[in-house]
Structures are given as C-alpha cells and as structure tokens.
Structure 1
Amino acid sequence: METHVQRLVDKTWEKFSDCDLSQRLLIAIAGIPGSGKTTLAASVAHGLNKAHRRSRHTQFPNSPESDTSCPDIAFVVPLDGYHLTRKQLSEMPDAEEAIFRRGAAFTFDARGYLELVTQVREPITPETPTIYAPSFDHAVKDPVANDISIPPTARVVIFEGLYTALDAGGWRDAYELMDQVWFVETDVETATRRVAKRNFAAGIADTFERSLERTRASDMRNARDILGSRLPVQEVVPSVEDETWRSEEIVRVDGQLQDQQDEEEEEEAKLEELKRQKMMRMDSIAALAADGVGM
C-alpha cells in the first residue's frame, strides 16, 4: 500500500514539474507539538531529492542514478530558528510567564519568519543569492542566525513548525504565500506523552511526572491555540507510529547505527569478560602464593 510519505512526494513532484525555472514551490507543514512535523518534512524532502536524481538519470543516462554531485532541490526550514532569545523573553513585561510559555506563538519572531518567506517567494533569476535562515541550538537554547542556507538551486522549500497555519497576524501573511499547507493530525494525549518524553530526555524536568505536568500546562495549551485557530489546509496527514513515515534510506541508516551500537556493546561485553577472567586468574595465583604453592 502506498505510504503517506510516498503519496505526498509523488503529489509534490507532480506540482513541481509544472513550475517554470523561475518558480519555487513553497510548502508549510503545521501541527501541534509532538505530531511529527519534523520527521514528515525531512522524509518528504529526502523523497523529492531522490526523485530529482532519478529524473536527471532518465534525462542523462550516463549519469549515476544516485549521483550525489547533483544538487538537492528540496530543503527544510524549521520554525525553531524564530524562537525569541532568552534575553528577549526576559525583557518582556511578564518575563516569568514568557519564559515558562516559551513555544507559544507570542514567543516567536513572526515578522522575521514572514520576511524570510517573502524573500524565498521571489522569482529565481541569475542574480538570486543564497538566502539564510536561522537554526536553533538546543545546547545553548537559543537561535543561531544565518545557519540554514537556501541556495538558488533550492526549488522546493518546506517550512515546518507549530504556527505555519495559524490564523494570526504575521503568520497569516506567510501562510498566504505558500503553494501548499499541510497539517499533521494526532490526538492530544498521544502528543502529550511524546513531548513529555522528549522534554524529560532533554533534562527540562527531573522526573517524567513533572515533565507530563509541564507539557500539559504549556505545550498542550499551545496545542489548543493551534487547533482553535487553524487556517484551511490542502492536506490533513494522520500522524502514525510505524516506519511508513520514513524513507527506506532513513530506516536503513538507523538500522546501521543500531547494528553499530550492538557491535560496540558486544565488543565491550567481551572486553569486560576478559577483564573478569584475568582478575579471577590473578586471584587464583594470589591464593596459591598465600598457601606457599610454587614457592
């Protein structure tokens, strides 16, 4: 059966094929926290780049089908880079609430996001420069300016984030510049547990129970705002837990990483066993020496 990802890749490739050389196809993926926006965006971009290389191979049969020198055409821009900095939040009238609610729409730079989308929407010309978007550094918990490049060869740009389909000032203007808007749908309880696990793993809370409590008070409050103010979308994509969301290559890479981890753990276990046997031999020699054996 055709997977969600493959269907979206095929649909998007068909739309892209109708674009002229000056056009970019812009897609926004929205959804509540924990719905799987990032995974979907990465998988669709991967599928589009793979389709592009196959198409190029068809046009130029002497080129390898997996030609990595062929520039990617699909790029993902996460909304995370438009978080307001911790310094900006601390300067708000209710700094404590702003810091606790980080992730709510008012804690993002909607104007900066709109400026980027407006730039990317401009027709491609020989003079079109590389455009840069901010990323988010989870280690320092702040955005990093000009960290994601969108080169002139980028023909499909996927923006993914909580508020890309929000009916509010700034967000609405960027939404109207998109060719397609998708919404990843999941139930709130499933999303709550996903986000709580993620936050607990990141050390945001010291117990899973506290992480659940915080997630319900902050992230799921944002979820209700997103669900209550969602603009119309062209695709509602059900969030799923199985491997159909990920390309074969992504699954294979994960499998290789797991195999590598298993091999490392097995090697470590062997070393530990050798150390244990060596200690046992040394203990035996010491016991014999104590009894005067071999003296």
Structure 2
Amino acid sequence: MANLTDLTVTVIGAGNMGGAVARAIRKAGVGADRLVLLNSSATSTQVAAQEIGATSAFERFGSDDTLAAAVAESDVIVLGFKPYHLDDMAPAIAPHVRKDTLIVSLLAGASLATLGDAFDGHTALVRAMPNTPIAVGRGVVGLMPGDHASEAERALAHALFAQSATVVDIPEHQVHGVIGAAGSASAYFFLIVEAMIDEAVAQGFTRAVATDLVVGTMLGSATLLHETGETPTSARYAVTSPGGATAQAIAALEEGGIRALMARGMRAAAQASRKMEER
C-alpha cells in the first residue's frame, strides 16, 4: 500500500459528512497540501479548507476547469456530494479519472454497479458508509469494495478511515442494515439523550446539569462496553438489583416497548435505504 503522506486526496463535496471524512483523512496522515477540497463555490471551499486544514481546489488550480484539474491530479477521489447530483457530476468527473485512482463513494443509494456505470467501468471503487461521530474520531464505517478493487486499494480505503473510526468490511447487500444499525443510529442516540435530559429538567435540574449527567453517563457506559468487552446484558444485570430503582426503570421501559420501537426504527431506516437504491 502507498504511503498516505505521498498521496493526493480530493474530496468533492466537503459538507457535513464529506467534511467529517476529510478530517479523518487528515488524521490518517494526509498532509494539508495533499488534501484538496472542492465544493460548489470558491467561498465555501475556502471556508472548509481553513476549518479542516486542507487546500482549496480553486486556490490550487484556479477557477477554470477546476474540477477536471483536481480530478486528474488525484490518487484518491472521495465523492461527498448529495447522491442526487451523481447524474450531473459523474460525466464531468469520469473523463479525467486516472486508471490507478481509487474512487471512494459516500453516496447513499448509489450501488457499486451504478457507480461503475457512471464512471465508465472504472474498477477501483469502494463504497463507504460512515456515521457522524467520525468527526470526533469515534465513528463507524462500513466498507464495501468493488469486486475488482485490488488488495492494495482495499487496504488504502481502510487506512483512510482507521484513525477515526471502527472499520467493518461488509458485503454490499448488507448496506441497508448498516445504515439502520450505524449510519442513522447516532440520531437515535441523540433522541434518547434529548428525552433523558428533558425528564431530568422536569425533575428539577438545570439543563446544563442535566446535560452533564446524561451525556457523561452515556459516554461512560459506551466506553465501558468498548474497553471491557462486556456484553450489554451482563453490564445491565450488574447494576440492576432485584426490586431496586434500576429494575423498576427497566420494567417501565420494557412495558413501553423499547425493544420493539428500536427494531421498528432500524427497519424503517433500512427500508428507506432500499427505496433510495431502487430509484
């Protein structure tokens, strides 16, 4: 695998997710002068480049044929724009992609087959499904290499994310499950935290104190599972005394159908992902 410090990586569409991935790539070891960002305008590109510690494609290549010049010089291209822009963007990108350039797609709903067609049969393709905690170095990424991606290209895709996320290789047919279990899951977590903070405020805490209590507990609980390898069930049993306050709380949540609600939400996310890919 090539040394990351020697590669030029261009992120086309450094918005919320593309920008988070750009930060991960910087953390992986790609230098500011070799991480090139390209948004729809020179202004937004410059702002993103300054925030992330990268280079604006408009500054590097000027305003004429910026996209073509950036693509032609790239060892890795990350597609971070909105999926519905693929039909417009691919024809502008494809003619300038080198045969040895790795394309990493963040586009939900765009299958490897769709990407292969869009980029004139280009074979060095990897789909990546990250979630937003990658922005703080604690994300999860599902990687789906194309059938013709080499071992070196697969290893390179891993290396781009490995410093900021747990990287999991998955077959493409499981992408919808990944979106339900990880891609959208931080939003479920935020909703639960929000509800707990609201109830703590209702019980008399200030919102600042309630936030510290809930967020601190959630962070500690996730860290405990991650670092000890303990199962969620055994960890829960360890703090649930028979007839105690925790047991009463768990009983109320179970009675309210918390498991069924979580399953319903995850299935809804997976189904929405399937529908996107069918369009």
Based on CA coordinates, which of the two structures has the bigger radius of gyration?
1
Higher helix share: 2
TM-score norm. by structure 1 comes to 0.24
Q: Which has the higher contact order (CA 8 A, sep 6+)?
A: 1
TM-score norm. by structure 2 comes to 0.25
